[in-house]
Structures are given as structure tokens and as C-alpha cells.
Structure 1
Amino acid sequence: MINCIIVDDEPLAALLLENHISKIGHLKLKGKAENAMDAYKILQNQTIDLMFLDIQMPDLNGINFLKSLSQKPKTIFTTAYRDFAIEGFELEAVDYLLKPITFERFFKSVERILRTVPETEEDFIMIKTERMHRKIQLSEIMYIESQGNDIKVVLAKESFISKNKTADLEVILSEKGFIRVHRSFIINSRFVTAFSTHEILLGSHQIPVGRSYKKEFDHYISAISKNKLL
């Protein structure tokens, strides 16, 4: 669970952020502040992991407020102005969101933090479906297949269509035991039950090995064959 606060003197902007936060199960809103001094009180009394911080506020703006903190939570700036972007990133802000903030842009920013938070449970990924973002354990995913502008996510017991892009998932999954073996397929190596030069079996699922991806798959096979193949 990621404890977060909203620091924004615009009630409608704060309400929109609160609504976005409510849609993500791993975020817990611990408070809202309309100015830096109120935010400081919350930070003194509670453990806050993430701060959604407006820049243009009365008395002390968000940039100077963050500079003044000796213990800085992860911060996502929320503002209607582009002028402070460079200074914001120099303070090692996670992101810089321009108002009005859509949920899609909000989630993309928060997902960077979700990926870095240690989990006591098994690794997971948030995958975008038609109506919501779905939390999927990596151990459940057998393979991912490109289908035009969408992808098909195949689990051990079901499958569904997602709006994510294959290339984006490949970056995340490549360090988690997944291998791209074809222009249209990323497989979970844990499910490989048999293979040949041109084909891989994941249980009853037959996955082709693309010519341009064969070298990467051969490298994987070579790595495991030292101790596993007889």
C-alpha cells in the first residue's frame, strides 16, 4: 500500500485527483492540504510515500516547499503551467503532470512507482482492459499475443483482450523470465514444455519462433541446457 497526500489549493483539481486515486487499489489517500503549511503538518504526523503537489499555491509554492523538506516523499507535480518542468525534474520528481489530468496519464505516472515498490506477494503487472486496469500475477501469464492494435493476454485458465502495447510490456517483462520469440508473441519461459527449431509448446499452446527472434530464444535454451537437458 502506498500512502499519499494531495497538496492543491484548487478544490476541483484536488477532487479529480482524489477520484483518480480511488480507482487504484494500491494507493491510500491519507489527507489533503490546500497549502504548504498544512501539507507539512501531515508529513510530520504520518508516513507518506507519495505526494501529489501543485506548484502555484499561496505563500509558498510547491517547488520551494519541496526544496525545504529534509525528508522528501516521492513527488508528482500537478500544475497548469509548463514553466517549472525543468526545475521540477531537477528535484528528482517522479513526474510532472499538466492539468487537466486524465486518468490514463495519471495511471502511467503512478505505475512507475508501483513497479518500484517492494511487494510481499508475487510480482504482478497492471494491464489495461476496456473498462479498467487489472492486476495480474506474472506467474499466471502463459503468453501475450499481438492482435492488431490490441493484445491478447493468455493465462492458465482464461484469456482477455488488453489495450496495452506489446513493446511496452516487453520492456517490463524481459527481466521477469519472459522472452519475445516472434513479432506477435511474448512467452513466459516457466510454461515451456517442449520446443523445436521453429516451434514452442506451452502446454497445449503452439507458439511459432520468428526468424529474427530465433537467436534470443537459442540463447535462452543454451543457458538452461547446461544443467537441464540430458
Structure 2
Amino acid sequence: MINCIIVDDEPLAASLLENHISKIDDLKLTGKAENAMQAYKILQNQSVDLMFLDIQMPHLNGIDFLKSLPQKPKTIFTTAYRDFAIEGFELEAVDYLLKPITFERFFKAVERLLRNTVDHREDFILIKTEGMHRKLFLSEIVYFESQGNDIKIVLTNQESCISKSKITDLEKTLSGKGFVRVHRSFIVNIAFVTAFTNNELIVNKYQIPVGRSYKQEFDAFTAAVSKNKLL
């Protein structure tokens, strides 16, 4: 869980950020401040991993406030002005978001942070399912199945979920991470392959067909297995 705070003197902007934060399971809003002084008190009294920091605020702007901190939390600047972008990145900000901040842009910034956080070293993907963004560790995914415009994701606990995605995009994302596409509709986690023939895999007791056009990938997989590299 990443503890975060919002520092913004605009109630509507702060409310929008709070709404965005509520949609991501790994984020926990632990405080809100209207100015740098209030934010400083929060930082003194609790552990903060991520700060959503407005720049144009009364008394002390966000740039100067961040510069003044001896220990700086990860920071995403939120502002209506482009002029401070270079200075913001010089302070090693995670990102620089221009208001009004859409959830899509907010999500990209947070995803970048999650992928680079020490506490999230195990590979995972973020999917949108049932109106929420859900984190799935690759180690718990048995296989992906394309179903029209959707992707069915089958997990080790026999649970499954549906996400709007393209299997070709998933194939690129999963490249080099222990998954192989064996059919136009299936990508499997090679760690769960227990048996195979020339045209079928047994993946955690599920029967998965092998497509002719994916024979090269399948042959590479079986060759690796025969050398005891995978199984």
C-alpha cells in the first residue's frame, strides 16, 4: 500500500484527485492539505510515500516547498501551468500533470511509480475489470484467452476475470516474462505447463490448443523443456 497525500488549495481539484486515488487499490489517501505549511505538519507526523503537489499555492509554491524538504517523498506535480515542467522534473518528480487531470493520465503516472517501487518488485499487470483497475501478479496467472473484444484471465485459485484488451497488446507486454502465445486466442504461463503433445498443452489441468501459425513459438518452448530449462 502506498500512503499518499494531496496538497492543493483548490477544493475541486483536490476532490478530483481524491476520486482518482479511490479507484486504485494500491493507493491509500492519508491526508489532505491546502498549503505547504499544512503539508509540512503531515509529513512530520506520518509516513508519506507519494505526494500530489500543486504548484501555485499561497505563501509558498509547490516547487519551493519540495526544495525545502530534507527528505522528499515521491512527488507528482499537479498544476494548470506548463511553465514549471522543466523545474519540476529537475526535482526528480515522478510526473507532471496538467489540470484538469483525467483519470487516464493520472493512471499512467501512478502505474509508472508502481512499476519502479521497491515494494513492487514482483512483475504484475494492471487490468481494468468490472469498472476497477486491478493488479494481478504474473505468478498467479495461468493463461489468457481472447474472447472477441475481451480477454479472459484465468488465475491459480480457479478464479477468472474479464478485461477489455487485445491479445496482441498483451503478447508484447508479456514478452520475456515466462509466457508464450500458442494459439491466436491463447497465451499461457509456461510455469504451469504439465504436459503437451504436438497440438495441445495441459496447463494447470486446463486443455489449451496449439495453433498451426504459432508452431515456431511452441517448438522453441518444447526445445527448452527438453533441455530442462523450463520444467
Q: Identity percentage over the alignment? A: 74
Match of 1:6?
A: 6
Match of 2:201?
A: 200
CA–CA distance in 1 between the matches of 2:35 and 2:91? 19
CA–CA distance in 1 between the matches of 2:209 and 2:89? 43
User: Any conservation in 1 of the 2:198–2:210 contact (CA below 8 Å)?
Assistant: no
Query: 1:100 and 1:164, CA in 2 relative to 1: closer, same or farther beyond 3 A?
Result: farther
Match of 2:98?
A: 98
CA–CA distance in 1 between the matches of 2:8 and 2:114? 23
Please report how far the alpha carbon of residue 39 of structure 1 lies from its aligned counterpart in structure 2 after TM superposition.
1.8
CA–CA distance in 2 between the matches of 1:184 and 1:92? 41
CA–CA distance in 1 between the matches of 2:84 and 2:172? 30
Match of 1:163?
A: 164
Alignment of 1:1-230 (within 5 A): 1-119=1-119, 124-156=124-156, 157-170=158-171, 172-202=173-203, 203-209=205-211, 211=213, 213-227=214-228
Q: What letter is aligned with 2:74?
A: K
Q: Which shows bigger deviation, 1-10 or 85-94? A: 85-94
CA–CA distance in 2 between the matches of 1:220 and 1:162? 27
Please report how far the alpha carbon of residue 28 of structure 1 lies from its aligned counterpart in structure 2 after TM superposition.
1.9
Q: Which shows bigger deviation, 39-48 or 217-226? A: 217-226
CA–CA distance in 2 between the matches of 1:107 and 1:133? 9
CA–CA distance in 2 between the matches of 1:168 and 1:39? 40
Query: 1:228 and 1:61, CA in 2 relative to 1: closer, same or farther beyond 3 A?
Result: closer
Number of equivalent positions: 229
CA RMSD of aligned residues (A): 3.1
1:138-181 residue CA offsets vs partner (Å, 9 max, x unmatched): 34322112344432222352433202444554455445422233
Please report how far the alpha carbon of residue 11 of structure 1 lies from its aligned counterpart in structure 2 after TM superposition.
1.0
1:85-122 residue CA offsets vs partner (Å, 9 max, x unmatched): 33333332222222222333323322222333445997
Query: 1:214 and 1:86, CA in 2 relative to 1: closer, same or farther beyond 3 A?
Result: farther
The unaligned stretches of length 5 or more in structure 1 are none
User: Any conservation in 1 of the 2:191–2:230 contact (CA below 8 Å)?
Assistant: no
The unaligned stretches of length 5 or more in structure 2 are none
